[in-house]
Structure 1
Amino acid sequence: MPSRLLSVRIPFLAKPGALRCVGFMASNTGKKLIQIDVSSDTVCPWCFVGKKNLEKAMEQTKDKFDFEVRWHPFFLNPDAPKEGIKKSDFYKMKFGPVQFERATSRMTEIFQGLGLEYDMTGLTGNTMDSHRLITLAGHQGYDKQNALVDELFLNYFCQGKYIGDKQVLLDAARKVGIEGAEELLEDPSKGVDEVREELNKYSSAISGVPHFVINGKYQLSGGQPPNIFIRAFEAAAKDGDGW
């Protein structure tokens, strides 16, 4: 369920005082490499929408570019309970019954447009463990990390699973081939400092997610349509030609 900030689409911004700055990079295929840093929370529906639209844009431009997508943590509700609370109860309290129904109807329609079923059953709660696991996955390859993020989104938004549940996280990790997940999740302190470092480095200056940084220079926020991502890819690649 997006907050007001999350439902606002911010237009394409060029060179907005970037988080970091990189010049032109080429992959080993000879195509230009587009690096995408995504700040996201695993209970943010707009983050899943943004991911799917990003992937459509990447598919449409794969003949021109190679991509490296890296996921970073954000906490919409850092004080959410570890034990979880029913999604419907939480969001009715947060937004009120009328706004809850409107937002649910809207997200259901948007998900249907992506070929997905929006499921409001199950629990919501603290997302630290999911971010610890995503950070671990990043050390084993960004393709694995991306697959894990997708699996967790599907679990939470389409299958009514609680991603604060250790077994749900372990099943997702095993499905995409993440090693060391059980050891990580057995120790509630393991990886927490790294998540906080990632949060500070990539997400401390933003107020809502999803937030995308393209080649360190071009920033996009919200569930942008594929054509906006493509414009950002092309601008970043063109800008790199001058380096």
Structure 2
Amino acid sequence: MTSTPTLTTAPALTIDVVSDVMCPWCYIGKRRLEAALADVRKEMDVEVRWRPYQLDSTLPKQGKDRKQYLEDKFGGPEGAEKAYAPVHAAGVEENIPFALNDIPASANTLDAHRVIRWAGSEGLVAQDATVEALFKAYFEDGKNIGDDEVLIEAATEAGLDREIVARLLAGEADKDTVSAEIDQARQMGVTGVPCFIIDMKYAVVGAQPAEALADAMRKVAQEKLNNPEAAPEADNDA
């Protein structure tokens, strides 16, 4: 009788996280992904890559007054408060001290995604650290992530060279590339974030519980064990 392979021999997985820095559920999803990874990494190797998305590409670089923006979006103060009640509750669960009332502006996040892309060229650890720094700057420290100095500060905190980031931000580097990647995500059917794409094959949409993310990783890993020739090759372009 042939035994079923165990996940201790599971192949490596990649997870592409399609995310927007101005999305509170993406910050919550990051925490839940981290919990899931802590669970499964004793069984398999997992690489996480952050991919860009924009919830509102029409916003100006320096943004719009956030309070007014949310009230316009959700139909007044009560609508905005109701929409964000689950965010506060989930933040408490994930130990994220959301300070949403301190955020001055809802800004265009294209430049933030450029910085995240550049961080990826330094390695996945640097990229993750940059994403973390940007989430914290926006949602906990109430900073405007459309402001170049805020972006440079977050990148420097994550280990990137301050002068290089400042020079790149002052130009047009990678704007078209990031925009094209966002368009590609939409063409793939991504309409909401976070979206966790496992091995370019299996998508988990929304800030799902850590258990659901871990289960999805195990299922994909088991499929790769059972059908190694059918496993797709992940895109290595960071």
Structure 2 counterpart of 1:112, one-letter code: V
The one-character-per-residue Cα deviations of 1:198-234 (angstroms, maximum 9, x if unpaired) are 2233343311111111011111100100011111111
Matched positions, count: 214
- The structure with the largest alpha-carbon Rg is 2
Residue 171, structure 1, aligned to residue 153, structure 2: yes
CA distance in 2 between counterparts of 1:178 and 1:197 reads: 24
Q: Within 2, Cα distance between the matches of 1:202 and 1:36? A: 14
Counterpart in the other structure of 1:149 = 131
Q: Is the 8 A contact 2:13 2:46 kept in 1?
A: yes
Whether contact under 8 Å (1:210, 1:223) holds in the other structure is yes
- Correspondences of 1:27-66 after superposition (within 5 Å): 32-66=11-45
Change (3 A) 1:140 1:153: same
1:118 partner letter = F
Q: How far does residue 31 in structure 1 lie from its aligned partner after superposition?
A: 5.9
Post-superposition offset of 1:50: 0.9
What is the SS of the residue equivalent to 1:65? coil
CA drift of 1:100 comes to: 0.7
Asked whether the 8 Å contact 2:10–2:222 carries over to 1, the reply is: no
Alpha-carbon separation, structure 2, partners of 1:87 and 1:117: 18
What residue is the counterpart of 1:104 in the other structure?
84
TM-score by length of 1: 0.84
Most deviating of 163-172 and 99-108: 99-108
Supply the RMSD in Å over aligned alpha carbons: 1.6
CA distance, structure 1, for counterparts of residue 148 and residue 205 of structure 2: 30
Which residue number in structure 2 is paired with residue 212 of structure 1?
196
Unpaired segments ≥5 residues, structure 1? 1-29
What is the distance in 1 between the residues matched to 2:69 and 2:110? 18
**Distance apart, 1:38 and its partner CA:** 1.1
Asked if 2 retains the 8 angstrom alpha-carbon contact of 1:72 and 1:203, the reply is no
Unaligned regions of 5+ residues in structure 2, if any? Answer: 1-8, 229-238
Q: Percent identity?
A: 34
Greater helix share, structure number? 2
| CA contact 2:33–2:213 (8 Å) conserved in 1 | yes
Check whether the contact 2:15–2:199 (CA below 8 A) recurs between aligned residues: yes
For 1:46 and 1:55, the matched residues in 2 are separated by 14
Equivalent of 1:68 in 24, 47, 53: 47
